Structure 1
Amino acid sequence: MSDIIRLLPDALANQIAAGEVVQRPSSVLKELLENAIDAKSTQIQVIIKDAGKSLIQVTDNGIGMSETDARLSFERHATSKIRETEDLFRIRTMGFRGEALASIAAVAQVEMKSRRSEDELGTCIAVEGSEVKKQEPVQLTQGTTISVKNLFFNVPARRNFLKSNPVEMRHLNDEFQRVALANPEVSLSIYHNDLEIYNLPGGKLSQRIVGLFGKNYREQLVAVTEDTTHLNVHGYIGKPEFSKKTRGEQFFFVNNRYIKNNYLNHAVVNAFEGLMRDDHYPFYVLYIEIDPTHIDINVHPTKTEIKFDDERTVYGVIRAAVKQALGTHNIAPSLDFDQDVNFSAIGSGPSAPSFSDKDFDSRGGESPFRSAPREVSMPRFPDKRGFDREWQKLYEGLEDEPAQSAPRTEGMSLTLESAANRMEGAGGGSEKTHADAQVVFQIHRRYICTQVKSGIMLIDQQPAHERIMFEKYLETLSSQSGASQQSLFPQTVTLNPSDFSLVMELSDEIHALGFSFEPFGHNALIINGVPADVQGQNEKELFEGLIDQYKDFRSQLSLDKYENLARSMAKRAAVKPGQTLQPEEMRALIDQLFACSNPNYSPDGGQTFALLSMDKIGSFFNA
């Protein structure tokens, strides 16, 4: 029997290695940018064509390579940074010439031009499918230019798996942002199809953040600094009021290398405990400097996941650093140790504390907007008459307010229809319409209450409306029949490049919902109209909210585009708790809810209504 094990040809081995390193155009850009950074470049220019499928060109002004180094950089296992095994645990650089060039050259047409300062001429090498096509001297300035053309030209199956141009461009933007944040002192620019996306001068980290994410980030940055014997932490976090419902603006860098680590992310979120809602995420760009011997960066082929030898210590330092930054900038509540608590918030006499209108909001609970803390204690009433007086104060101002009035800052009163208060001779006696027979009212402007045959039905207005709108938008997207209400004054929305690419990717679907918009300058859109069934919402806030909600669902759930957009739009367009509804609106909501294919649950699985049977109601009164 003949032998069956044989060595693979170099070209095939390189293609297999490329499967781990080169997953999409953004993988190529990452490797080329890291090589340029390691070459001590101060200026880097990126040119993209066709979302990287046709061309990715990176030009730097680094130290360049000699003729021999340029040729060896395309060989497998060639490196300029590792000499012995111990060097694997002392890596401080990003990539190194030759680490990924061999894999990239196996699946693309690559041309490299490089020259050192001491050389008169540079070197030009062309490699196609691991085969060197030419190597010749060339005149150029100091630095290196690498052009990667026709990615996966010789692996059609891999090329067919690439996504649309907007999707691939979004991934390219993500990689560019990470390298730009890791190296704020380096000037970086990127162009796509001859259109400038970013042009970032070298400078401070705060300037780089504002250059990448927009001018509105300038007012939300809070500096973080913590130096310990084990590691150093520095960077910026965003103020809690600027937190978002979507992930994606959280960046960790260890020794200037971008990483993903859910455990350390929990440390930051935990430091914000009590300062923002549970379903929101803070912005942060944090750098960790640690001895390379305490980490292992070779856990993942792309090196975005690393291991710490003492992860709990790193967690504690990061959490403490963020909490200290929040406290230093008077964002987190702090204790006043100079105040004598025994003499604060105490009334002048032994009488019972009085209740003011400010102590209660329109929902009947304690107002969250009080400017000063109040002592919490059980009221003491000297006699029954005092008890009655204090009890009645809770209902002052409610007697004269009619049912279903416009929103007010005071509470709401309600008059229920009955034979005792029905006016004689009104409406012709006993005849009643269906609308008159169906008595509906709101509870705390959140729940809708109506009588049913078996008892009482309570409907949570927001989840119920979300179910209605979700099924409506899903049908609209399927039939491409969304109606648009044109705006009297069109609004301009400026997005970051990643969100702009996402909007272009979903352009047809967003138009199908009923939005009318068009590109308007650099990463900007002009909103000419919104869906006709959305009333009373700001066009800009609605559009931006739709994109944020879409990204949030995409990061947490596996949904197709139509379902994600329908759920996102329903979430943003549905009525919210605290919104007053007229009786006709409540009746329409009930009718539409039970016309849905699944009225019991909202799109995210929450219950839309509950029934209280007569037996259940009776049990409250019959012990």
Structure 2
Amino acid sequence: MSSIIQLLPDHVANQIAAGEVVQRPASIVKELLENAVDAGATEVKLVVKDAGKTLVQVIDNGKGMSVTDSRLCFERHATSKIRHAEDLFSLHTKGFRGEALASIAAVAHVEMKTRQEQDELGTHIVIEGSKFVSQDVAVLPKGTSFSIKNLFFNIPARRNFLKSDTVEFRHIVDEFERVALAHANIGFMLYHNGSEMFNLPGSNQRQRIVNIFGGRTNEKLVPVSESTEIVNIQGFVCKPEFAKKNRGEQFFFVNDRFIKSGYLHHAVMAAYEGLLKDGSQPGYFLYLDVPPNTIDINIHPTKTEIKFDDEHALYAILRSSIKHSLGQFNVAPVLDFERDANLDTPYNYESKEAIMPMVQVDRSYNPFADEKPAKSSSGSSSSSSFSSSGRGGWTPSFKKEKAPVWESLYTGLSEAAEEITPVNEISFESEEVTGSLFNDTEVEQAVQKTYQIHKKYIVSPIKSGLLIIDQKRAHQRVLYEQFLTNITVHHAASQQLLFPLMLYYNMSELALIQEMRGALENTGFVFAEFNNDHIVVSGLPVNVAESEVSILLEELLNDLQQEVPDSSFSQTDSIAKSMARSLAIKTGVIMPEKEQENMVNSLFACKEPNVSPFNKPTFITISVEDLDKRFAI
């Protein structure tokens, strides 16, 4: 029998390996930016077209590569970062596997230009699908430039799985922010379709955070600093009052490498215990420096997860350092064992005893007794007199008018009572009732039809039995169809604000709001201004209160970032769902009878009253037969 196992050709193996490394354009951005950082660059420029589908170009001023290295870097498992297996536990660089460039070259058109500082000429290489097309000598600036064009040109199926430009660019911005936050001393620039999105000069950590997430971020930050033998912690956490529903501003960096760790996140949440509302997430930018031999970063293909040797000690140190910082800056209450000398008893009063105050009470005082006229010192009978002052002047003194005696208010009542006609002698005009405005059936129907149970359910009798409605889900269905109609038909009403609202967001959130601006305006929002770090809202939908605007938009951004809609219809649907969830009446709210009836009528006027926008049942029915069975013996 012939053998069936064969070695794969290099270009096929590279395409298979590319599935791990290159998942979307953002994966290329991550690899190339990290290579630029490893090359010692002080300025890195990222140029993107069509969300990376057409072009991803990274230009740096690093040390560059020689002619041999420029050709060898596209081979699999070719790297300058490690020599032995033991080097995996003493890594100080980003990339080390040597598969990134080989995988990228297997699924795209690659053009590389590089020159070292001591060389007069550089190298220009063109590769298409792992095949070297050309290699020339060229006059180039110091550093390296990678241009990745036509991603997945030879794998159409993979290209079809890419999302919309908006979604893909959002992933690119995420990777760009992670690398830029990890290396605040390096200048980064991002251009998309010819427009400058970010221009971040080299600075410190705090300034880099403010440059990325907006000027108002500075007032949110609380510094964290802790140095131990296990870990050195630097960075910032956000104040509890600025907590959000989403987890967008949460960053862990270990040895300048972005990681995701649910275990460390739990330590941060434990430090905020008792300071956050339910469902709120604090923002944090934490930089952990640990010995390289105490971590293993080779447990995940994307290197975003790390295994620590002593996780329990790291957990305790991180939680206590954040708790200490929140208390130190008066964000959280702490126990203060330092005695304040200003609260001590003065020396002159230490030996003195306290003097009890004496209270004198006139037990013969009667407020209802007649007041005796005060004796006038001047003997004058006029209403005002003048008494001599100590300085030879005259001071006017006025007599107090005598208060009326309270018994005099009731004099003469007995005589007036005798003149009042007795009640039994009063005659009233009779009025004959000829008929009822409503018949008996209508009177029975006027009795309350709906009842609210436990401030959660609306109960209404029907012919076949009983109808029980979940008020929250029912209201969600009603609002969802209203918003969906308003967005598509463009006829929503708006209420103008006397004082417009100014709301601050970071650049990615502003881009998302700008993208869904048309749909929001169709629901009733009016945006007066769009700036680099804030928006101005001058009009609101009729059923949205002014105090709910920031919460509504925050939850809307959170929903859109999590669901990542890739078409206009799904985005419209997501906006309607998110607004319906935010504005629907909550469990625990008392509804008057009229509102209950209106809720029932509005629900059954919907196109799909049976389920909420999130496919949860809005009501159930209990038949009379079911009730009879319950009472059967």
Category of TM-score, reference length = shorter chain? 0.7 to 0.9
> Contact 2:529–2:537 at 8 Å: present in 1 too?
no
Q: Which of 484, 492, 500 is equivalent to 1:484?
A: 492
Q: Secondary structure at the match of 2:493?
A: strand
Q: CA separation of 1:208/1:610 partners in 2, compared to 1, >3 Å: closer, same or farther? A: farther
Q: CA separation of 1:333/1:443 partners in 2, compared to 1, >3 Å: closer, same or farther? A: farther
1:467 Cα deviation from its structure 2 partner: 4.3
- Give distance in 2, aligned partners of 1:199 and 1:305: 29
1:585 Cα deviation from its structure 2 partner: 3.6
- Give distance in 1, aligned partners of 2:249 and 2:501: 25
- Give distance in 1, aligned partners of 2:76 and 2:300: 19
- Show the counterpart of 1:570: 580
- Show the counterpart of 1:145: 145
Please report the TM-score for the alignment, with normalisation by the length of structure 1.
Answer: 0.73
How many residues in Structure 1 have an aligned counterpart in Structure 2?
521
- Show the counterpart of 2:386: none
> Contact 1:106–1:129 at 8 Å: present in 2 too?
yes
> Contact 2:223–2:236 at 8 Å: present in 1 too?
yes
Amino acid corresponding to residue 279 of structure 2 in structure 1: D
Pairing 1:54–2:62 present: no
Aligned positions of 1:330-345 closer than 5 A: 330-335=330-335
- Show the counterpart of 2:554: 545
Residue segments in structure 1 that go unaligned for 5+ positions in a row: 341-423, 612-623
Aligned positions of 1:2-81 closer than 5 A: 2-81=2-81
- Show the counterpart of 2:404: none
- Show the counterpart of 1:620: none
The one-character-per-residue Cα deviations of 1:298-326 (angstroms, maximum 9, x if unpaired) are: 11111011111221121111111111111
> Contact 2:237–2:282 at 8 Å: present in 1 too?
yes
User: Once structures 1 and 2 are overlaid, which stretch shifts more, 592-601 or 239-248?
Assistant: 592-601
> Contact 2:126–2:134 at 8 Å: present in 1 too?
yes
- Show the counterpart of 1:421: none
Amino acid corresponding to residue 87 of structure 1 in structure 2: D
- Give distance in 2, aligned partners of 1:132 and 1:492: 55
Q: Secondary structure at the match of 2:26?
A: helix
CA RMSD of aligned residues (A): 3.9
Pairing 1:465–2:475 present: yes
Residue segments in structure 2 that go unaligned for 5+ positions in a row: 341-431, 623-633
- Show the counterpart of 1:589: 599
Pairing 1:184–2:184 present: yes
> Contact 2:456–2:588 at 8 Å: present in 1 too?
no
- Give distance in 1, aligned partners of 2:195 and 2:106: 29
Q: CA separation of 1:604/1:496 partners in 2, compared to 1, >3 Å: closer, same or farther? A: farther
1:331 Cα deviation from its structure 2 partner: 1.4
> Contact 1:295–1:307 at 8 Å: present in 2 too?
yes
Q: CA separation of 1:436/1:336 partners in 2, compared to 1, >3 Å: closer, same or farther? A: farther
1:287 Cα deviation from its structure 2 partner: 1.1
1:536 Cα deviation from its structure 2 partner: 3.4
> Contact 1:210–1:218 at 8 Å: present in 2 too?
yes
- Show the counterpart of 2:94: 94
- Show the counterpart of 1:133: 133
Aligned positions of 1:412-427 closer than 5 A: none
The one-character-per-residue Cα deviations of 1:491-549 (angstroms, maximum 9, x if unpaired) are: 77664333344446656765665656699565876767655x52434695366235234
1:580 Cα deviation from its structure 2 partner: 8.4
User: Once structures 1 and 2 are overlaid, which stretch shifts more, 202-211 or 508-517?
Assistant: 508-517
Q: Secondary structure at the match of 2:323?
A: helix
- Give distance in 2, aligned partners of 1:433 and 1:588: 20
Amino acid corresponding to residue 284 of structure 1 in structure 2: Y
Amino acid corresponding to residue 325 of structure 1 in structure 2: S
Q: CA separation of 1:44/1:440 partners in 2, compared to 1, >3 Å: closer, same or farther? A: same
> Contact 1:448–1:586 at 8 Å: present in 2 too?
no
Amino acid corresponding to residue 602 of structure 2 in structure 1: Q
Q: CA separation of 1:52/1:553 partners in 2, compared to 1, >3 Å: closer, same or farther? A: closer
Q: CA separation of 1:459/1:553 partners in 2, compared to 1, >3 Å: closer, same or farther? A: farther
- Give distance in 1, aligned partners of 2:118 and 2:513: 48
> Contact 1:549–1:568 at 8 Å: present in 2 too?
no
Q: Secondary structure at the match of 1:145?
A: strand
- Show the counterpart of 2:253: 253
The one-character-per-residue Cα deviations of 1:383-428 (angstroms, maximum 9, x if unpaired) are: xxxxxxxxxxxxxxxxxxxxxxxxxxxxxxxxxxxxxxxxx99x97
1:5 Cα deviation from its structure 2 partner: 2.0
- Give distance in 2, aligned partners of 1:546 and 1:118: 54
Amino acid corresponding to residue 203 of structure 1 in structure 2: S
Amino acid corresponding to residue 580 of structure 2 in structure 1: A
- Show the counterpart of 1:211: 211
Please report the TM-score for the alignment, with normalisation by the length of structure 2.
Answer: 0.72
The one-character-per-residue Cα deviations of 1:329-386 (angstroms, maximum 9, x if unpaired) are: 111122355799xxxxxxxxxxxxxxxxxxxxxxxxxxxxxxxxxxxxxxxxxxxxxx
- Give distance in 2, aligned partners of 1:505 and 1:2: 60
Q: Secondary structure at the match of 2:489?
A: coil
- Show the counterpart of 1:372: none
> Contact 1:465–1:593 at 8 Å: present in 2 too?
yes
Amino acid corresponding to residue 204 of structure 1 in structure 2: N
- Show the counterpart of 2:506: 496
Amino acid corresponding to residue 567 of structure 1 in structure 2: K
Amino acid corresponding to residue 79 of structure 1 in structure 2: T
- Show the counterpart of 1:400: none
> Contact 2:503–2:550 at 8 Å: present in 1 too?
no
The one-character-per-residue Cα deviations of 1:101-138 (angstroms, maximum 9, x if unpaired) are: 11101111111111111111111111111111111111
User: Once structures 1 and 2 are overlaid, which stretch shifts more, 88-97 or 25-34?
Assistant: 88-97
- Give distance in 2, aligned partners of 1:72 and 1:600: 60
Q: Secondary structure at the match of 1:274?
A: coil
- Show the counterpart of 2:166: 166
Amino acid corresponding to residue 568 of structure 1 in structure 2: S
- Show the counterpart of 2:243: 243
Amino acid corresponding to residue 158 of structure 2 in structure 1: R
- Give distance in 2, aligned partners of 1:35 and 1:211: 23
Q: Secondary structure at the match of 1:484?
A: coil
> Contact 1:221–1:236 at 8 Å: present in 2 too?
yes
Q: CA separation of 1:607/1:309 partners in 2, compared to 1, >3 Å: closer, same or farther? A: farther
- Give distance in 1, aligned partners of 2:37 and 2:617: 49
1:13 Cα deviation from its structure 2 partner: 1.1
Share of identical aligned residues, percent?
47
> Contact 1:222–1:329 at 8 Å: present in 2 too?
yes
Amino acid corresponding to residue 231 of structure 2 in structure 1: L
- Give distance in 1, aligned partners of 2:591 and 2:277: 26
Q: Secondary structure at the match of 1:15?
A: helix
- Give distance in 1, aligned partners of 2:258 and 2:167: 21
The one-character-per-residue Cα deviations of 1:145-189 (angstroms, maximum 9, x if unpaired) are: 111111111111111111000000000000001001101111111
Q: CA separation of 1:134/1:504 partners in 2, compared to 1, >3 Å: closer, same or farther? A: farther
Q: CA separation of 1:194/1:494 partners in 2, compared to 1, >3 Å: closer, same or farther? A: farther
Q: CA separation of 1:326/1:157 partners in 2, compared to 1, >3 Å: closer, same or farther? A: same
Q: CA separation of 1:608/1:122 partners in 2, compared to 1, >3 Å: closer, same or farther? A: same
1:462 Cα deviation from its structure 2 partner: 5.0
> Contact 2:456–2:589 at 8 Å: present in 1 too?
no
Q: CA separation of 1:107/1:553 partners in 2, compared to 1, >3 Å: closer, same or farther? A: closer
Amino acid corresponding to residue 481 of structure 1 in structure 2: V
Q: CA separation of 1:291/1:585 partners in 2, compared to 1, >3 Å: closer, same or farther? A: same
- Give distance in 2, aligned partners of 1:279 and 1:120: 59
1:248 Cα deviation from its structure 2 partner: 2.0
1:594 Cα deviation from its structure 2 partner: 6.0
- Give distance in 1, aligned partners of 2:56 and 2:252: 26
Amino acid corresponding to residue 128 of structure 2 in structure 1: E
> Contact 1:66–1:116 at 8 Å: present in 2 too?
yes
Q: CA separation of 1:546/1:294 partners in 2, compared to 1, >3 Å: closer, same or farther? A: closer
Q: Which of 536, 546, 564 is equivalent to 2:545?
A: 536
Amino acid corresponding to residue 484 of structure 1 in structure 2: A
